[in-house]
């Protein structure tokens, strides 16, 4: 834990900080943004401690301590230099309770971060994120977008020589992005739109802005009719929100209003799977990204009724701590994403002038899915279902082997949330789970009911072997090596159906020996689930099978999940005919917990 007194604010004389009249105005924010901005600002000391601030160090300004301090990484993740924008926004603007406005240390942290960024650019204009010689599209797009906004935010506080170097680096990024793409993950293309748009906006060069508009139109053309875009070999809710955010920023900066219909469509799709606590489910997508975009919400509120409804919900007082995992969960996310709540607040307050609207009043809100009491939306291609009932809101991820999440109502708000994740089968030294994302599972929807059939597969830890890492280093040092290396990595990820960033990803091949058939019926006040677990060869041993449940859950017999979220099936007195075991349960709200009743 960092003691804030170790990094106390250090003010420049007021005359040296040139804030315009607009930024001096009182900043009025909705409750959610007010709280999130406060959380981010409270972490500025931690963000400062991640940076090499030694003025004599060759690594000064680096935001990746595993590289500059611990030497446990042999490549500096240049995406972490996006912290420059968080520093710049905190230094510049009068956020509520912002003790860092005008602070000298924060200003120079932003300047140092810019310096390290441009000094580590590859000759072709790209940057590295995960390995040397990567020449990554994502890191080049994400970081150049943040750097362009940083230069604008800092204004005349950037020394002339540093500004010259950073502008030259941005132009090299823009030139490279003009001729390269990464459709394997469409969210990268969305950030490319934002990067090209921001570079063109900052430099006043139409060639970048026009390229951004062409790329945004292509994203819209490729978008599925349900509103999602392809990520690897599947769908991802978090990245759908992200595409709406970054493509939307091009509209905000450059006034391209033609793209708004496409990103509004994407936002509507993603908003159906937004929870009342303003989170989404990592299980709903192939990349396990639960991101909810406040920036996209603020951008689209004048254009899209669903975004206006979410913005209204964001003004509700919190019933508990706000979820900060997207920005504060670890050092990587803090460095990369701390700026996002600050940027959303700046747009809300009118500090960043918008070119996408004539008057930024919110559209007329609609009822969100979790506010509905007799509605459901089934997305057959994404294999996701959202349900609103009088007693609860629920989401069923057929794409994640039938995972069910239920948020029970407490008057106009929500109380307990429970998650039925299916089963864990521990046998022969292996753990088999149905926790695997796939669009290939069998799923059938009827109003009020969904059935899913999915395999239980062994959990495996994925780590490239030493020879693969050495081979990657050699390959990326050769002509065309970075391009072919990325192609092979993407082919592997597509074949295995995983983003490779989960600690226990189901990537094993071959036919699974166990199968889960799940039927879910949504009643007015409870959810009914009937599960049959079958062994293709042999039998199911109840002593080795566990329910996997999240939340304040207890069975009608009083059993609660252990710290690993498991309840032994043997304790439930269910019967098996040998090769098949069937469990019939009702999930409903009890007095002080969620009760899972086993139907005998």
| Contact present, 265 and 227 (Cβ < 8 Å) | yes
Query: Both 271 and 418 in a single domain?
Result: no
Determine the pLDDT at residue 2. Answer: 41
Query: Both 330 and 387 in a single domain?
Result: no
Domain assignment present for residue 468? The answer is: no
pLDDT, tens digit, 9 for 90 and up, residues 441-489: 999 999 999 999 999 988 876 777 777 777 777 777 777 777 767 777 7
Query: Both 267 and 313 in a single domain?
Result: yes
Strand pairing report for 594-598 and 553-555: parallel
Query: Both 320 and 404 in a single domain?
Result: no
Q: What angle do CA 187, 197, 351 make, to 5 degrees?
A: 105
Query: Both 291 and 146 in a single domain?
Result: yes
Which pair of tokens denotes residue 301? Answer: 């509120």
Determine the pLDDT at residue 140. Answer: 97
Query: Both 244 and 129 in a single domain?
Result: yes
The total domain count for the chain is 2
CA distances from 548 to 489, 514, 595 (A): 32, 16, 14
Query: Both 51 and 166 in a single domain?
Result: yes
pLDDT, tens digit, 9 for 90 and up, residues 538-565: 888 899 999 999 999 999 988 999 999 9
Domain assignment present for residue 331? The answer is: yes
Query: Both 328 and 400 in a single domain?
Result: no
| Contact present, 94 and 76 (Cβ < 8 Å) | no
Domain assignment present for residue 360? The answer is: no
Distance CA 575, CA 503 (A): 33
Question: Of 331, 348, 365, which residue is a domain's last?
Answer: 348
Query: Both 453 and 577 in a single domain?
Result: yes
Query: Both 321 and 419 in a single domain?
Result: no
Backbone phi and psi for residue 449, each to the nearest 5 degrees, phi listed first = -150, 145
Query: Both 340 and 420 in a single domain?
Result: no
Determine the pLDDT at residue 241. Answer: 97
Domain assignment present for residue 344? The answer is: yes
Long-range contacts of 565-573 (CB under 8 A, 24+ apart): 565/421, 566/424, 568/543, 569/423, 569/542, 569/545, 570/542, 570/543, 570/545, 572/547, 572/598, 573/598, 573/600
| CATH number where 335 lies | 1.50.10.10
Determine the pLDDT at residue 358. Answer: 87
Domain assignment present for residue 361? The answer is: no
Domain assignment present for residue 364? The answer is: no
Domain assignment present for residue 284? The answer is: yes
For 518, the 3-state DSSP assignment is strand
Question: Of 302, 328, 348, which residue is a domain's last?
Answer: 348
Please identify every stretch of the chain with a pLDDT value under 50, giving residue numbers as ranges.
Answer: 1-25, 504, 508-509
CA distances from 365 to 336, 353, 368 (A): 31, 23, 9
Distance CA 168, CA 125 (A): 10
pTM of the model: 0.91
Q: Which of 298, 446, 307 is nearest to 368 (CA)?
A: 307
Domain that includes residue 429, residue range: 376-462+498-598
Domain assignment present for residue 11? The answer is: no
Query: Both 311 and 419 in a single domain?
Result: no
């Amino acid at each position: 834990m960092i003691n804030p007194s170790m990094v106390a604010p250090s003010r420049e004389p007021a005359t040296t900080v040139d804030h315009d009249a607009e930024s001096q105005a009182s900043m009025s924010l909705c409750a959610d943004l007010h709280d999130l901005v406060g959380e981010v600002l409270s972490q500025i000391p931690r963000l400062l401690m991640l940076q090499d601030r030694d003025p004599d160090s060759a690594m000064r300004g680096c935001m990746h301590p595993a590289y500059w301090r611990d030497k446990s990484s042999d490549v500096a993740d240049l995406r972490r230099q996006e912290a420059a924008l968080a520093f710049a926004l905190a230094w510049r603007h009068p956020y509520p309770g912002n003790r860092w406005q005008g602070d000298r240390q924060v200003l120079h942290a932003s300047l140092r971060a810019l310096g390290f960024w441009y000094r580590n650019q590859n000759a072709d204009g790209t940057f590295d994120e995960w390995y040397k010689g990567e020449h990554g599209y994502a890191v080049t797009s994400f970081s150049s977008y943040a750097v362009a906004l940083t230069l604008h935010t800092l204004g005349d506080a950037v020394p002339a020589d540093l500004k010259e170097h950073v502008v030259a680096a941005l132009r090299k990024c823009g030139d490279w992005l003009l001729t390269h793409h990464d459709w394997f993950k469409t969210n990268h293309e969305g950030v490319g739109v934002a990067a090209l748009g921001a570079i063109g906006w900052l430099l006043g060069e139409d060639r970048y802005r026009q390229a951004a508009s062409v790329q945004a139109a292509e994203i819209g053309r490729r978008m599925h009719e349900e509103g999602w875009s392809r990520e690897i070999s599947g769908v991802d809710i978090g990245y759908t929100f992200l595409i709406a955010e970054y493509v939307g920023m091009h509209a905000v900066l450059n006034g391209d209003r033609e793209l708004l219909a496409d990103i509004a469509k994407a936002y509507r799709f993603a908003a159906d799977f937004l929870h009342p606590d303003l989170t989404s489910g990592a299980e709903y997508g192939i990349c396990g990204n639960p991101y909810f975009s406040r920036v996209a919400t603020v951008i689209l509120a004048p254009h899209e009724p669903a975004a206006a409804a979410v913005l209204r919900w964001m003004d509700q007082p919190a019933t508990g701590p706000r979820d900060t995992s997207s920005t504060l969960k670890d050092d990587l996310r803090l460095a990369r994403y701390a700026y996002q709540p600050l940027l959303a607040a700046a747009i809300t307050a009118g500090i960043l002038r918008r070119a996408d609207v004539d008057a930024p009043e919110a559209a007329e809100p609609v009822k969100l899915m979790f506010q509905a009491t007799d509605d459901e939306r089934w997305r057959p291609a994404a294999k996701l279902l959202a349900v609103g009932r009088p007693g609860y809101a629920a989401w069923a991820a057929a794409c994640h082997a039938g995972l069910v999440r239920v948020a029970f109502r407490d008057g106009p708000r929500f109380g307990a949330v429970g998650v039925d994740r299916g089963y864990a089968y521990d046998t022969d030294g292996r753990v088999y789970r149905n926790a695997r994302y796939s669009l290939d599972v069998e799923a059938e929807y009827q109003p009020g009911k969904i059935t899913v059939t999915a395999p239980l597969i062994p959990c495996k830890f994925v780590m490239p072997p030493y020879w693969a890492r050495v081979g990657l280093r050699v390959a990326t040092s050769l002509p065309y090596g970075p391009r072919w290396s990325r192609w092979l990595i993407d082919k592997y990820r597509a074949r295995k159906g995983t983003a490779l960033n989960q600690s226990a990803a189901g990537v094993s091949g071959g036919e699974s020996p166990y199968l889960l058939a799940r039927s879910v019926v949504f009643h007015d006040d409870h959810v009914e689930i009937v599960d049959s677990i079958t062994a293709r060869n042999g039998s199911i041993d109840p002593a080795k099978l566990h329910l996997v449940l999240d939340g304040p859950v207890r069975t009608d017999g009083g059993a609660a999940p252990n710290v690993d979220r498991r309840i032994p099936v043997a304790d439930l007195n269910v019967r098996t005919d040998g090769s098949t075991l069937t469990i019939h349960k009702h999930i409903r709200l009890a007095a002080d917990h969620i009760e899972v009743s086993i139907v005998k």
